Amino acid sequence: MMKPKVIMVPYPAQGHVTPMLNLASGLTHLGLSPVVVIPEFIQHATAQKTHITCMPIPDGLDEATPHDFFAIEFAMENNMPVHLDRLVRDLNRNGGGVAFMIVDLLASWALKVGDDCGVPVVGYWPVMFAAYQLITAIPELLSLGIISETGIPQSEGPVYLEYDQPSLSTQDLPWLIGNLAARRSRFKFWTRTLSRTQHLSQILVNSFPEEHHIVTNLQNQSKQHPNITPIGPLIQHTKHENLYFSEEDMRCLDWLDQQRERSVVYISFGTWVSPINKAKVRSLAMALESSKYSFIWVLGPKWRDGLPKGYTERMSDRGMVVSWAPQSEVLRHKAVGCYLTHCGWNSTIEAIQCKVKLLCYPIAGDQFVNCDYIVKIWRIGILLNDFEEEDVHRSLKRVMEDTEMEERVVKMKERVYGMETSLKVSSNLKRFVEDYGRVTNN
């Protein structure tokens, strides 16, 4: 008997494709046949690296053009819908049919394709539920005059979300990246996303069931939220292999084997936006050089110009600078004592899984929400305000030597990855599949 097919459409970025593949792996174990749709420009990253079926569709992007947020948005809105439509219709005719689609909310362009093809669509939010609430608060922020019609903060006051969540500054809103024109364009993207997704009847969320206030929301459904089902984080539950868009430098694992236990600082600012400018790269490099700690620093080639001359050679005895690292393996290594991070959600939950304390430097998007929980609610890390030498030295010492923080990270891992949570996640995912009436589980 042919397994029911599920079309899955992630937003084409590392932090979105990876959790979607993990979800696909979980659905495979429940008897479904997932097909993850990716644009051609990231096809090379998934080819032969995953057991999940991935189908590329043309994106119309020129290889010479930087694949930044705006280029990807243009491709999603103008180039990719017709090709996804053709793929869905072909599978319906010749592939045994499509049971339903799961669409990343940031890939909201795909919702209309599902509707046009008569295929039920489920939403997917790949990060914290609290970040979703921040987006759904946009109408209220507008009505209260906290932001303008183009999303620009009208003051620098705090933003309070539902259910007594920690307050954010208006300067921490996820669309405030780049110059004024870029901020307005990003805000338009989010308002369009909210408009397209507010009528979804079901959203799967890559948060653990006891992440603050998902349980509250499930027990007392808010009118402004659809049916929210927490089904994550799925990294451990599905045992899906790690997938990186860049080639990992495996030498760092051998280097870690030679270091003392919990003596190394791991540094990575992710792939979602340009991490930090060259001046800040230089400032951080000099602060690390004058500190006493060993480090592994993930820094892409285009940012190496910010390093002082001869830096990598001079620091070779206690520091490695690599273009990309096998992050899960690095975080699991006993030599790693803390993680200087941008607070991306995947990085946050990987650190929790590996019981690694966090030094937080959020840059954009949901990272400010994640940082607030890390620092204020869970207390498994601290905020780094700047890369000046004194601040870096003081913050590193505080995190590396805080034994009570270590105990809280261990407890946090149990909350997120313990048996009780695993059972809830498995039950939620199984119930979701059964509710759609497509699979009989044995």
pLDDT (tens, 9 = 90+) of the chain, 442 residues, equals 678 899 999 999 888 998 999 999 999 989 899 999 999 887 655 544 567 889 999 999 887 777 788 999 999 999 999 999 999 999 988 767 899 999 999 999 999 999 999 999 999 999 988 888 888 889 988 998 889 999 999 877 666 555 446 666 777 788 988 899 999 999 999 999 999 998 898 999 998 876 644 443 334 444 455 588 888 887 644 444 445 555 557 889 999 999 999 999 999 997 656 667 889 999 999 999 999 999 999 998 878 888 999 999 999 999 999 988 889 999 999 999 999 999 999 999 999 999 999 999 998 888 988 998 999 989 999 999 999 999 999 999 999 999 999 999 999 999 998 888 888 888 999 999 988 754 433 3
Backbone angles phi, psi at 343, to 5 degrees: 75, 30
Q: Are 46 and 243 in contact (CB under 8 A)?
A: yes
For position 75, what pLDDT does the model report? 93
CA dist., res. 339 & res. 296, Å (int):
10
Which DSSP category does 217 fall into? H
Which positions ≥6 away from 90 have C-beta within 8 Å? none
For position 94, what pLDDT does the model report? 79
CATH fold for domain 5-242+418-435: Rossmann fold (3.40.50)
For position 65, what pLDDT does the model report? 74
CA dist., res. 362 & res. 179, Å (int):
18
Quote the tokens at residue 50.
Answer: 């995953």
CA dist., res. 88 & res. 80, Å (int):
12
Residue 123 host element (H or E): strand 121-125
Task: Give yes or no on whether 5-242+418-435 and 251-416 have one common fold.
Answer: yes
CA angle 435, 193, 148 (to 5 degrees): 140
Q: Are 268 and 298 in contact (CB under 8 A)?
A: yes
CATH fold for domain 251-416: Rossmann fold (3.40.50)
Which pTM value belongs to this model? 0.88
Place of tokens 């705006």: 70
Place of tokens 């459904």: 221
| Alpha helix segments (H runs only) across 29-80 | 43-46, 69-74
For position 140, what pLDDT does the model report? 87
Strands (E), 277-418: 294-298, 319-322, 336-341, 357-360, 381-383
For position 63, what pLDDT does the model report? 77
For position 182, what pLDDT does the model report? 92
| Domain ranges, ordered by start, for the chain | 5-242+418-435, 251-416
Q: Are 299 and 321 in contact (CB under 8 A)?
A: yes
Judged by phi (left if over 0) then psi (alpha if -120 to 50, else beta), residue 418 lies in: beta
Quote the tokens at residue 16.
Answer: 């979105």
